[in-house]
Structures are given as structure tokens and as C-alpha cells.
Chain A
């Protein structure tokens, strides 16, 4: 079900033949039409599904599970983004014959932990990412690269035979991979903030930086902002994930709108085409809202948190720069 350029596809393509199972290849068209996806899966007697939660939410919404109840489905695995508890509850109610497994793993490592949802898993509860797969070692470390105590938050490091050798065309640096222990696979810093329970089960607490996931695809907000800001007529832009987590929205400032806030916003359709030719589809902003200006933090950086809050809640409040104070000091 995952496209071949998405590392989730490797599990289906390699593990299924190892287990003596057949792989049913779904076209991209099927994944865009949930009712066709369930129709084909039901007809083929598919026993395992492995996909991203946002597609599963679409299946619940428009997947026609009444007529295509996936009665052969034994196991439903999901990965790539945080599973919303409400979606999981609804799926478990609609597919009571299947087990549910949360899988975690950055593309740099591929799958590295998993957690089978117990039958008595309470509703409205998030899923931990679970315990390591065979051959995987985990560490949870603080900012000084020291292991933290169970229950404390830290960055997750992974060592596994599947850790990448490096990024294409780039020499691995210490910030990518740490070859500390000779003879064992290197450690990869995931950038994910986690905490380990006393029994070793890992809970996920978010990303360290501004990388986000939208519909299972990891995006750099800064890269999207760079494209929008580069467009004619745009002075500045902040990309945010929409409140429902399903798309990218952009709050931008038009170059021509001066202190008088003149109505000189660029043509939205043209701006969207600009983005569409330069960004992958999932990164193309679903909406672009023009604001008179963007708020800044005391150090002069754009205040992303304020932009996000304005976008999610209260657009009636005019966004304005922070009150002018002493010039920012320091380099950060």
C-alpha cells in the first residue's frame, strides 16, 4: 500500500515473501479512493494491512466498510505518524477480528520498534511506539549524550543492522551517525523525544526540531517557507501544519504591503502553481493566508508558536511584530 519511494514499502515487499505470503500491489489510485482500496482488499482476502494513520482515517470516513468489511484481515499495522486515539478506537470497533500494531522507525533505520495494542487497551489512550525489534538496540539520551533514567525524556538513539550508511552525496557527520562502539552497527540520532517505561516500552513525545509529518510524509517547514518566500510578491512566510494535521497551511506577508497594509497580495492561484512546481504534492500549501506582518521573538526570529496559535484559533487578532525594544543581542 505504500509507494516504493516510502521506506514502509520494504516490509511488505520483503517480509511477505519470507513468510510465504503473496503481496497484493495497490495502485496509487486505490490509495486515493478508500472505497476502491477496501473493495480490492476485501476481494483479494488480504490478511495484513500496513499503512499510515491518515489513510486509515480516510478508510473509516469513506471506505465503505459496510460492504467491504475486510473479513480476512488478521492484523492491521500502522506507522509513519502518531495514531490519533479516536481513529484507533473507531478502527477497533469496525474491525474487531483484527489485531492492531503500532510500528515506529525513521527512514534512516526503517522499522525499529513495535507495540501490539492489547485487547483491553482503554479508549482515548495514545499508543506507545513499543519495544525494539530483533537486532535493534535503543538508548534514550540527554543533551550531553548521557543515558537518562527510565521515565525521563530524552532523544532516542537507534543501533541496528539496517541503519543507513549515510545520506546520498553527503559525508556522514557526527550529527547523523555515531560510530562509537567498534564492531557494532552505528547509532543513529533520531531527533525524536521519547521516554522509556520501567519495562522498556517507549513512549513517543514529539520531534526535537521543526520537522513535521503530514499524511505520513516528513517535511521540513523551513524548506516550504523558503519556496513560498522566493515567489514573486512574497516577503516572508511561515508554514504550519493545519489544525487537523492533514495539510500544510502558510501564513505569508506580501512584499508590497508596506506600513499602510496596502492590499497587494499576490495572485493565490499563481502562488499555488509556483509551489506545485517546486514542492512535492503533500508540501504544497492547502491554504495561503496573508497577514499584515509576522510576530517575532525577542531575538528577532519569527515567533512560530504565535503564528501557529493565530492560525489555529483566533484570526481576528491582528498579527503584529513584537513591540520594539532594545536591539536583539547574542547570535542564536
Chain B
């Protein structure tokens, strides 16, 4: 028993589960996936009283039904992995609804500890809890906590260790579902013991019986014998005729009844509060007239700040990497060509450096998104957006993954999990890439200052994003009328009170997202940078064919001889009508793998074509292209697929490579057509 414990954290969304997780594990966290699905799995480590504790953060859920992926994942984890302790994090200021999940966990008979989180807010609301009494009624340890202030940590860990160590006595206070249901449950349990021994062993007959009466699709699918299913159907029909309603509803009702009873005995409210501060803020922020403008203003501020403030550290990083390149070059005597030198400087440093240099921009964007999420504004934004989203045939909640898409398509596509309806979800996934992502931001941040005067830059960036949004709206509408035709779905969303985000939580959240982005840069792009460097440096022309050429010409010749050069030249005819040359073509080919590679690729193309390492890429671009072409480059990058990782994520989320390819080809075709039109019209207007 001593040594290792596994603890699972469960709880409603907005209950402060993340803050408890952070409180317990600090920075020792790891983000991954639950096997086979794309639901995010966070695990962390913690030590307490000679116990090594592994903490697993289950997805936030209101219940443990089979109706959503998150709930199933949470439920299956509890059954399959059998953690030593389950901590249900309950928002103490919202206790009745939060305890619904607790009743489900009690039904599952897991070793349970309840954390009454946000106990400071509950206190402020005038709620007084008789913890001892409630703990006895629920037969569960209860620990008051304030997650975002770190209060209650020691007590919670004590309760966890204690619960893990002690064997649990059989529960005496069971939730009574009323005579009729209890009778059905008893007879079902008998059937299950006979007909489904394996299932009974695994899940327990009590819980199985309840789930079957609730018509749980997941459990139904696991049942083998017809006899069991017949008994279930008979039982459900019988109950339906008695109550005039589905047994699942009655059972839910009884659970709430149990909670209500327990709470009435143990919780007193001492303050009558009419209008909270949250309500007053909401009166302004979700106002019919002010709501939308406030929202748009906030969005503009976010992007403008990302671009402006991000400039400074970006400059420092750019400087650092070029210094690094020069320092490494200095290892070789001047004039000596070496494949290792070329690999390091032109391949690795140029590649990764170009990408990491834009990390500040990305971090700032994710910082803003974290703040929006943690304050609770994000939920209001979904509310405000719903009336507009509805017109496109999408859901107010679609707005949230789309907003995340402005940071990166990958978590955004994964975030569409919150949409229950498949049609809404797939449509949202398809158009998310049109939300210009952080990687593309690196391209704009390179191009815009190179081609447009100071005053135009902010608006130009805003314009690009706007075009993406408009296209997404149109595409969504079209998709919803054709491929994903069908009814729109219900919008149900909890409205959390406004909260003051803690700096620690926001920074942790921001850093986690940024780290995910970096990992992408570190691994895939470095790999691609090196492959591209190789594809650009080899095959090499013979020394004789280079005799008599100048340095630049020799470099150009080498590039033309290489794989990439040939590919770029090969597709040039197709790209000419868009105003692109083979260099852009080459960069675009590389950029299909990951958008950040576009820049590193251009950097390499021009580094290869030029002897002047001190000249920055921007100056090179300015010398070679017109503002119209530059705009078309941004347009093409905006509309076409962000990266291979996006396609892969789409494939996994939709569980179909067909849809992933549909997205890939659809976006590429759309990008081609629109850029073509813009360039051709543009060349007529702008000389």
C-alpha cells in the first residue's frame, strides 16, 4: 500500500478542477491523450508522506452517461484503471448540481473523497456547511479547499492517502430510487448474476442494473444474452407505464432528491443575495446593443497587442539566432565549405530559429485566450456569438474552438469535442483552418512589415484575419446546406460567474499551450527543415559545371539542380497566374507540411541564393516581390491547409481519412481559385 497511489480527479467543468490539479502537481504535469480517442489526458506527480501519487485529471463532466465522449472516457478510466482514490471536485457555491456527479460516483462505489472547492466564494455567499454531518450522510470524506489559492492542499492529500490505505466499509446509506424502481433493480440484478457473470464481475450488478434501466447505450452494447435485454426492456416498459416518464428521468430525479435532502439538513444560507457582481457585469457585457461591439473591441485589442508587444522579444530572438549562426560558422576557416556547417547553419539553425523567433507572438495570443477562458468571459462570448452562429447553421459553442483556431488549428479541432452534434462538429472542423492560426501569423509578421508602411500594418493584419473569418462563414453555410445538411442543435451551456484569474493559472495554461506549439516546432519542423535542406542541397552539380560562375550564380545553380529546385520549377507554370515564382512555390510545397516551414524555407532559399548573411529575409523579399504578390502569398497561405498535423488531427477527430482529404483538397482548391482571382484582378488595378 505504501509507495504508489493513483488518484483520479473528477468534477464539473468550471468547478475549479484544473486549479486543484495544478495545486497538487505544480509544474510536474504531462499532457497526452486517452488511448484511442482524442480526449486530452493530463497527468501529474505529487509526493506526500512517503507516498508517490500519480494524479490523473479526468475530463470535466456533469454526469457519467454514455451520451458524450468525455463522460465515457471518464467512466471507462474509473472502471478499467481502478484508481486508488477518486476526488470529486465540487463547486461549493453551486453545490446541488455539482453533487449530481458525486451521486454517480457513489453508485459506482469508487473510493471517494469530496473536495468542496471555492469554499471562499461559498463563504462569501453566506453558505454554512455542516461538513461532519454531510460527510456522514454521504459516507465520504469531505475537504474544503480553495484551489486557486492553494488552500486545503495538505488536508486533501491527507484524506487521499487515508482513503487509499483504509479498506472501505460497505455503504449503508444507499440512494433509494423508490419502491418501484428498487423492485426492478433487484430482479435485474438476479438476471445479471446468472446471465452476465463477466460483466457483473467487472462493473458490479448494482451499477449495471441502474445503467440498463437508464437505457445506457454503452452498457447495452456490452450485454450478451437476449434474456437480459428482454428483462431490461420489460422493466423499462413497466416503469414507463407507472410513471408516465422514462426511468432515466425518474432515476435522475431521485438522485437530485437525495442531494436535496442531504443539503437541506446540512447547509444553511445566511445571506440573501439578489444581484451579484457577476450579474451587473453581464448586464453590460451581454447587453443587446453593447455586447457585440465590446466583444469585437476585445478581439481587436488581443490581436493588436500580440503583434505589437510580440515585436520586441521577437527581435531579440531573431538577433540571437543570426548571432548563433555566425558563431558556428566561425568554427570553420573562412571560405571553407562543409556539409556539416551547411546542415547546422542553413538547415537546423535557419529552420528552427525562424520558427522559435515567433514564439513570443504565439505565447501572447495564448495568454490572451487563457485570460478570456479563466475569467469566464469565453462563455459570454459564446452567448453573444450564438445569434450569429445560428445564422450560419452553427452553434454558439462552435465559436470557442474557432477562437482557439486563431492560436493553432490542432487544439481547436480537438476542442470541437464540446459540440455534441456530429454535423455541427464536422462543419466546424472543416472551417477551423480558415481561422488564421499562429503559424500563419509568423508568415504575416514576416511579410507585412516588409511591404506595408507603418500605419497600414495593424489594419492589414486585421484584414487578413477578417477575410479568413468571412470565408469560414460562407464555407460553413455552404457545408451546412449541402454536405452536412440537417437540423441545428440545442445550445446548453453553463454560465459560470466571473472570476479573477490567478496569474499562476493563466501562465501555466499559456505555457502548456505554447509548449505544445514548441514541441511541434521542435520535432516535426526540425525534421522537415533537415529533409528540406537535404532536398535543397542535393543532388549537387559537378565542380566542372560550376567553374567560372560567381558565388551567387554557383549557389543558384546548385539550388536549381536539387530536388526542391526542380519541383519548384516544375509547378511554376501552375503558380504563375497567381503571381508566384518557383521560390514561393518551393516554400509553399514545404509549407504543406507545416506553415512555419514556409519562412524557414524562404530563408534557406535566399540564404542559398545569397552570400550576405547579414541581410535579413525581409529585405530580400522586398527586393524581389511587389506588395500585390505579397498579399497573394498571405491569401494563399491563409486559405490553404495549415499543415499536415491539421489533416492528421481532422482525420482522427472525424475518424475518417476521407473527410481529412476532403478538407485538404477542398482548401487547396479554394486557395488556388481565390488567389488566382485576386491576383488577376489586382494586376489590372494596381500597375
A binds B: no
Interface residues of A (CB under 8 A from B): none
Measured CB to CB, the residues of B under 8 A from A are: none
